[in-house]
Copies of this chain bind each other. A is one copy, B any other.
Amino acid sequence: MAVSARTTQTLVETVSSAIMERIAGRQLMPGARLPSVRAFADSMGVSKSTVVEAYERLGAEGAIVARRGSGFYVAGKTRPLCLKEVGPQLDRAVDPLWITRQSMQAGPDLLKPGSGWLPSSWMPEEAIRRALRQIAREPESNLTCYDQPLGLPPLRSQIARRLAEKGVEAEADQIVLTDSATQAVDLLCRFLLDPGDTVVVDDPCYFNFSALLRANRAKVVGVPFTPSGPDVAALERVIVEHRPRFYLTNSALHNPTGATLTPTVAHRVLKLAEAHDVLIIEDDIFADLEPDPAPRYAGFDGLNRVIAVGSFSKTLSASIRCGYIALRPDWVEGLVDLKLALSLGNGHLSAALMHRLITDGAYRRHLAEIREKLARGMGQTARRLEECGLTIWTEPRGGLFLWARLPDGLDSADVARAALARDVVLAPGAAFSTGEAGRDFLRFNVGHCADPAIFRVLQDSMATVAKGAV
């Protein structure tokens, strides 16, 4: 009797295990309906009661769910989209989302030389206060209503003028306001992508691009980046093989390398895009930091196949939230319909603040100061990094970032972990690259590298890793 009972138990376990294996191997997906009791019993050569007991056991464990009148389903449909599970499993030191969260939390004791934005002390706080007071004072301020669908017209006109200064021709009505460049790129993903479509990015690239594209269920393929822009031959191979929907990039002051597109590369990439029906989304949030205008895909192409994206978060304020998209006129209405459906529009108050800050010259003066501070910071930071034994990949024309290579093949993720233990948050290359391109690189933000302690910790961390002691 005991033997029979054990044998029966073993059969139930066998059936349960078989189901769990299929679930783990994703042949049975969350929410999928399990075979009927009879069908499964037949296929496994066991009795229906064995299957019933196995299903009930798995139900009690929560692995499957019974639905009245409908059968059994793999549990987990209730399990929402967790970005951490969609992408590669990363520990904190190299997890872009973790690095982002760290930068956002208050943390005066943490040094953040890998940060993606300017020190708050550099931002034009007095000008913003003045703009707030002016808006509070003026009778005609719109403080309560939704903004117009495209967004505040005078701000769009200003943006059109600023784009023209960079060689990009756009009418004000080709410009759609958003909350930020990130939200702009996300809106464009919703507008342009079907699930499973492929998108090309630079390798390395701004790490949030990858997270955002994965959240849009896109397949992400990287193309090696050079000091002049993308490796054109590699880009062609990727385009032919993967037939991407679009290529997402920065032209000026590339994040993280600081490189700038050359006219030759721009021309060749646009020819590829045309030959293979690929769009280009050109994110230029750092453009206002360049000393003189660099080539723009949108400039060469005239917003035919290129969509330009920008914002003021990096250069003016991340608290106010204002960005934009410039695109071909015949797509504006469809994009705005989508924007309205998904958000009912952006903040009028934010747009009004931006408009005022640009109008009264505050923004221009502020940019001039920042460019100067960054130029000094860049020279100083580059020297200190070289003193630590790192090599700068390419000398940027301006902007925030230095892309620096560790000596002796040191792994930057290891160095970042060691530095984290000493309260310094570095930005290791693995956060910016799905391939091997960033393995021994770190991104430094020259606005956050004033404290000499950073370089002491860097050297200590390098030594620790070199000793194999991480």
Contact = CB atoms under 8 A, between A and B. Distances in A.
B146 A337 contact: no
Q: How many copies does the complex hold?
A: 2
Contacts of A172: none
A142 to B, nearest CB: 6
Interface stretch (A188-196, A253-261, A420-428): A188-196
Contacts of A146: 103-104, 117, 313, 318-319
Interface of A: 31, 65, 67-70, 73, 75, 77-78, 80-84, 97, 100-101, 103-106, 117, 120, 123-125, 128-130, 132-133, 135-137, 141-149, 179-180, 182-183, 186, 190-192, 195, 208, 211-212, 214-215, 217, 240, 243, 245, 275-277, 279, 313, 316-321, 331, 334-335, 337-338, 340-350
B147 A340 contact: no
A244 B337 CA distance: 26
List 5 tightest A-B contacts by C-beta distance, closest first. A123-B144, A211-B341, A132-B136, A319-B348, A321-B347
Contacts of A103: 146
B344 A347 contact: no
B344 A180 contact: yes
B319 A145 contact: yes
Contacts of A208: 340-341, 344
Contacts of A149: 101, 104-105
Contacts of A106: 148
B132 A144 contact: no
B342 A186 contact: yes
